[in-house]
């Protein structure tokens, strides 16, 4: 059996990772399987099978393309060899339905019953030294499961530049949080929105930014209005009490 065929078989039969060590050096060859989708009906699901040598990708199968692609001289030889194996290609192409979609349906039916909808806060942030004058932050809190997607829309169109996001961070109580920042230059009449996609909702959750007043000013106005209402209520209550006490008095002449 040729070295190429032997190495190919070892990669196919391995469960996930195998390691070969020589002296003080270690060489890692990793096989990674991914089933990626966003839509609840799994219509956009993609199966990706990647092979790495010491973290360098050398061969990959993508169900959208339907074959293997090499990213190095050796990777192209492996890809050509596997693409010519009819039995292997039939099995690999069928993985999208037999493995990905089959398990995703089971996973979704279990997870969606336990999913917790995120609490989303959209606010203005201060940023020193940025290329744009405005920075918005979209924060999602207390959601489960951890997988979530936060995007920005400008007049309904997806924004991909000037966006930075954190990874999902555990709160320590089975819930998670994530934060995404958008640095941009405001334009008159535009609408900026934060779109959150999560297993707790079958539709994307969209939150529009209201630039009419900064958040700090809106908070001051809300606090001032609450104080004014409370003062009026207390004043009215005091006046009513005073009138009742006055009506019950008996005046005695000297």
| CATH code assigned at 181 | 2.60.40.10
- Please enumerate in sequence order all residues whose Cβ is within 8 A of that of 13, keeping only pairs 6 or more positions apart, or say none: none
Quick one: 82 and 20 in the same domain?
yes
pLDDT value, residue 248: 57
Quick one: 134 and 161 in the same domain?
yes
| Structural domain contains residue 57 | yes
Q: Is 13 left (phi over 0), alpha (psi -120 to 50) or beta?
A: alpha
pLDDT value, residue 13: 32
Of 61, 87, 111, the residue that ends a domain is 111
DSSP for residue 239: H
Q: Which domain holds residue 190?
A: 119-208
**pLDDT at 227 > cutoff 80:** no
pLDDT tier for residue 8 given thresholds of 50, 70 and 90 = very low
Quick one: 137 and 97 in the same domain?
no
Q: Which two tokens stand for residue 39?
A: 């839509």
Q: What is the mean pLDDT of residues 155-168?
A: 84
pLDDT value, residue 159: 87
**Per-residue pLDDT tens digits for 69-122:** 999 999 999 999 999 999 999 999 999 999 999 988 887 777 667 889 999 999
Q: How many domains does the chain have?
A: 2
DSSP for residue 98: I
Quick one: 95 and 19 in the same domain?
yes
Longest CA pairwise span in the chain (Å)? 128
Q: What is the mean pLDDT of residues 44-48?
A: 93
CA nearest 98: which of 160, 44, 47? 47
Quick one: 125 and 197 in the same domain?
yes
């Amino acid at each position: 059996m040729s070295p190429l065929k032997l190495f190919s078989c070892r990669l196919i039969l391995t469960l996930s990772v195998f390691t070969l060590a020589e002296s003080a050096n270690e060489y890692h060859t990793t096989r990674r399987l991914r089933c990626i989708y966003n839509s609840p009906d799994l219509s956009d699901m993609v199966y990706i099978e990647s092979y790495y040598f010491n973290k360098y990708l050398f061969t990959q199968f993508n169900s959208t393309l339907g074959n293997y692609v090499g990213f190095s001289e050796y990777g192209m030889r492996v890809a050509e060899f596997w693409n010519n194996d009819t039995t292997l290609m039939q099995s690999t192409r069928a993985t999208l339905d037999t493995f990905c979609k089959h398990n995703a349906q089971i996973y979704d039916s279990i997870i969606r019953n336990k999913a917790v909808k995120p609490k989303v806060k959209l606010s203005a942030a201060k940023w020193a030294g940025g290329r744009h004058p405005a920075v918005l932050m979209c924060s999602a809190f207390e959601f489960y499961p951890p997988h979530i997607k936060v995007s920005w829309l400008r007049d309904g169109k997806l924004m991909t530049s000037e966006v930075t996001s954190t990874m999902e961070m555990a709160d320590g109580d089975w819930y998670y949080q994530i934060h995404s920042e958008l640095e941009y230059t405001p334009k008159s009449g535009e609408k900026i929105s934060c779109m959150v996609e999560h297993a707790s909702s079958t539709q994307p959750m969209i939150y529009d930014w209201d630039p009419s007043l900064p958040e700090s000013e809106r908070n001051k106005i809300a606090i001032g209005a609450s104080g004014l209402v409370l003062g009026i209520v207390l004043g009215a209550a005091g006046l009513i009490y005073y009138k009742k006490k006055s009506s019950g008095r008996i005046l005695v002449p000297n």
